[in-house]
Structure 1
């Protein structure tokens, strides 16, 4: 988190107070990289429930667990028995097996094929977990289980303002749901696509692979983290806390400052924040974002 981001978060926290912490569930909280909500949590503005069934990833998560994180080793999805495929590269682990056909076409990820250890697991719906409160944000990176997680969390997501889900563009695992199915389920729950945080591509293997820049030529979309927000067209029915939480998330997690400003405008119209708060926010933005 740079100083400018910290200033923006502090400014919002002061102007939006008092409000409860943002409640976040992170399904697939493998600590291989810093989560996008870390700055918000470190500022004392978020409480996180992290789910990680892979034994090695769960142990790594516990070893560095901050005070704001609750760690659960439960596998999440449609309730019932399943087989969890734990790959040595923990970020590839899934209840689905990698597709030899897809990987054969892509020419990538071959080193992971047939390296999995099969572990029997019980899958749990987020809606069935009493220890988990109503959510404001659900983040999912579950290697194919995103659809099951979202579909079995309708009650927990009833008041949520956003979902960040890894969307698969090209199938990597046999039988995994694709982005069209996730999009349909999210829209059925009242969410709309807001933006992509990033997209991953790979170069398709060919005879000239050693003569080209693989990163520059990579054209095949694989997956990407998509941000869905609750339809803002109907924001008159939103609570003040929902608007405040979305303002914080848009600033600190999505880097969507226009959405933060729109939330501040709505809160100002309601008399919830000072009318000058949006202008003060712009004053703190990096120069490249100001006219």
Structure 2
């Protein structure tokens, strides 16, 4: 854990952990909130409808992670396309036209097993508390998940959503649909954590460095935060949780300092907290000192 996150944990001493809901918590890599979990600064509800993926999550989950083998989306019956590569599984089928252009993902075509399931919205789950952060990677169903969580997200400070730049599945919503849904609920785009791109298929592919020359954007995780322009509408607790998320998940240290400055102006934390936070940051993030 970073020195800066440890300092925040000691200084802000939140009354409860940050509540995170992770929809599509496929266990192919460590979650972006792993640093918060290690410090017991987060409690996570992880949703994964793919049985094998859910079993792997459950086997490795610490006490502060609750794994739920349920499908989240627009309430009702649906057909889930379970692909052998579980991270590709979706309510939508992989597009033949898209893969034809991209030259990638074709090995997944027609490999799905159709599974009937029942979708539930997050708002229809009384056992689920109001949340501070939603992370959603639902392979095309992100908009349905967000639209069905208006109540649970009413006090949330952040959403981390996979945003598709180029269609992979037939019928999946476009990126402007996702952006509109989040803005309608009071969130604004803060940053991208990463973007994935691929080299397009071509006759010279064997002679090229695929990683270096890949230009077609596919998708990436976008961070949206509660619109900060009306500071009076953001509570002290929301500011503290946003600061912890900004350091431990987003790597947005300037956003942390914005939160600390606001908390200091309210008399919640001492005025020197922001300066002490900068002291804890890696040297590469600080301005170079000019010797006299």
Range into which the TM-score falls when normalised by the shorter chain = over 0.9
CA deviations on 1:2-21 (whole Å, 9 max, x unpaired) are xxx1x212211111124211
Correspondent of 1:32 among 28, 41, 60: 28
Q: TM-score, normalised by structure 2?
A: 0.97
Does the aligned pair in 1 maintain the 2:199–2:216 contact within 8 Å? yes
CA distance in 2 between counterparts of 1:192 and 1:48 reads 23
Once superposed, what is the RMSD of the aligned Cα atoms? 0.7
Correspondent of 1:283 among 274, 279, 287: 279
Q: CA deviation at 1:62?
A: 1.1
Name 2:130's counterpart in structure 1: 134
CA distance in 2 between counterparts of 1:266 and 1:83 reads 47
Q: Which runs of 5+ in 2 are unaligned?
A: 288-292
Name 1:241's counterpart in structure 2: 237
CA deviations on 1:93-126 (whole Å, 9 max, x unpaired) are 0010000110011000111111111110100000
Name 1:8's counterpart in structure 2: 4
Name 1:221's counterpart in structure 2: 217
Q: TM-score, normalised by structure 1?
A: 0.97
| Moved beyond 2 Å, runs of 4+ | none
Name 2:290's counterpart in structure 1: none
Name 2:15's counterpart in structure 1: 19
3-state DSSP of counterpart to 2:202: coil
Name 2:164's counterpart in structure 1: 168
CA distance in 1 between counterparts of 2:5 and 2:272 reads 17
CA distance in 2 between counterparts of 1:105 and 1:96 reads 18
Correspondent of 1:124 among 120, 123, 136: 120
3-state DSSP of counterpart to 2:250: coil
Does the aligned pair in 1 maintain the 2:14–2:240 contact within 8 Å? no
Q: Which runs of 5+ in 1 are unaligned?
A: none
Does 1:90 find its partner at 2:86?
A: yes
The count of corresponding residues between Structure 1 and Structure 2 is: 287
CA distance in 2 between counterparts of 1:80 and 1:34 reads 31
CA distance in 1 between counterparts of 2:19 and 2:164 reads 26
